[in-house]
């Protein structure tokens, strides 16, 4: 008799557990289906999707998405990821061994991660379309942008500061006798303190420091400069005139810049290409009352494909 009662109890407990699990699953499904915040053709992005996407962002970045404007931009990014992921599937990229392995370990509610994996793979695939930058392109850019490659007049200086103006004046008199700042602090204990070795560029800013430095010749010491922390002296070690950087000095940087520009333009073209003819809507009415509470998360999300 007791054994039968025990079996009935186990059966009841098991039934209750199944009901709880079914209830949870149904509730989760309803949550997934409720609150459509964006559509792209037949594709739907819900509030549930958006929350899951935000959760994988670093806490600091996630905190930026608190307004209707920033959330709208985030949803547009999600739309682009979704459309690019679709393009990846059409191209068969999801069947490649590496991508297939990455997708297999994702959970049921990680659609956002799936979209990003496929989107990034598709962008890498399409980047093969980018042609290498030629020497002629580099030369043309250099000729049309020479002002970017001018190094302004500059000076190598040393600066020493004091809290007391009288001590600064005494140090100035010693430096004018021909001592270097290193010799000053080594030979005169009352002046011993840290000093700075700096580069000062002529920017025509009109700052006290800039004006003082470029009024001096090599080896000369400035008048006392009043700053927030006290009183400073500047000694010009060496001045260098402005010069135009040669093409061979900057060609590597130009190549990198032009490559980045081509990559960016390709991504934007792909974005426009995939959006062509697709009806995209953002339900901003649902975004107004939405406030996401940022909490630290370990994983992070790659950047938008555009």
pLDDT reported for residue 205 = 80
The domains of the chain are located at 1-33, 153-241
Tokens describing residue 171? 């140090």
> Among 169, 192, 165, which Cα is nearest to 181's?
192
- Count other C-beta atoms under 10 Å from residue 20's C-beta: 10
Tell me which H or E stretch contains 38: strand 36-40
pLDDT reported for residue 40 = 93
**Does residue 43 sit in helix, strand or coil?**
strand
**Does residue 24 sit in helix, strand or coil?**
helix
**Does residue 124 sit in helix, strand or coil?**
helix
Phi, psi of 155 (to 5 degrees): -140, 140
pLDDT reported for residue 287 = 83
pLDDT reported for residue 204 = 77
**Which stretches in the chain have pLDDT values below 50?**
2-33, 293-304, 306
CA dist 124 and 274 (Å) reads 16
Beta-bridge mates of residue 46: 36
> Among 54, 55, 56, 110, which Cα is nearest to 85's?
110
**Does residue 160 sit in helix, strand or coil?**
strand
pLDDT reported for residue 289 = 56
CATH architecture of 153-241: Roll (3.10)
pLDDT reported for residue 6 = 44
pLDDT reported for residue 106 = 85
Where b means 16+ CB within 10 Å and e means fewer, 50-65 reads bebbbebbeeeebeeb
pLDDT reported for residue 218 = 94
pLDDT reported for residue 24 = 40
pLDDT digits (tens, 9 = 90+) for 193-231: 899 999 999 987 878 899 999 999 999 999 999 998 899
């Amino acid at each position: 008799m007791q054994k039968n009662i025990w079996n009935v109890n186990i059966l009841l407990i098991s039934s209750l557990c199944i009901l709880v699990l079914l209830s949870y699953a149904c509730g989760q499904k309803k949550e997934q289906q409720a609150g459509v915040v964006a559509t792209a053709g037949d594709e739907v992005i819900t509030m549930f999707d958006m929350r899951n996407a935000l959760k994988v962002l670093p806490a600091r970045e996630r905190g930026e998405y608190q307004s209707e404007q920033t959330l709208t931009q985030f949803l547009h990014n999600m739309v682009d990821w979704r459309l690019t992921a679709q393009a990846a599937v059409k191209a068969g990229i999801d069947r490649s061994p590496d991508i297939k392995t990455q997708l297999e370990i994702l959970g049921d509610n990680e659609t956002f991660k799936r979209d990003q994996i496929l989107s990034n793979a598709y962008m890498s695939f399409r980047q093969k379309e980018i042609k290498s930058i030629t020497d002629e392109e580099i030369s043309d850019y250099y000729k049309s942008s020479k002002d970017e490659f001018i190094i302004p007049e500059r000076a190598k200086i040393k600066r020493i500061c004091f809290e007391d103006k009288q001590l600064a004046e005494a140090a100035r008199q010693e430096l004018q006798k021909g001592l270097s700042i290193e010799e000053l602090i080594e030979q005169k204990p009352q002046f011993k303190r840290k000093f700075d070795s700096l580069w000062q560029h002529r920017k025509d800013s009109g700052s006290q420091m800039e004006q003082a430095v470029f009024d001096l010749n090599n080896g000369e010491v400035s008048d006392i400069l009043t700053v927030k922390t006290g009183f400073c002296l500047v000694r010009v070690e060496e001045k260098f005139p402005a010069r135009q950087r040669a093409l061979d000095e900057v060609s590597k940087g130009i190549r990198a810049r032009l490559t980045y520009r081509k990559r960016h333009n390709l991504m934007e073209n792909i974005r426009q290409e995939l959006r062509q003819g697709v009806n995209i809507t953002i339900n901003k009415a649902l975004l107004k009352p939405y406030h996401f509470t940022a909490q630290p998360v370990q994983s992070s999300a790659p950047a938008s494909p555009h």
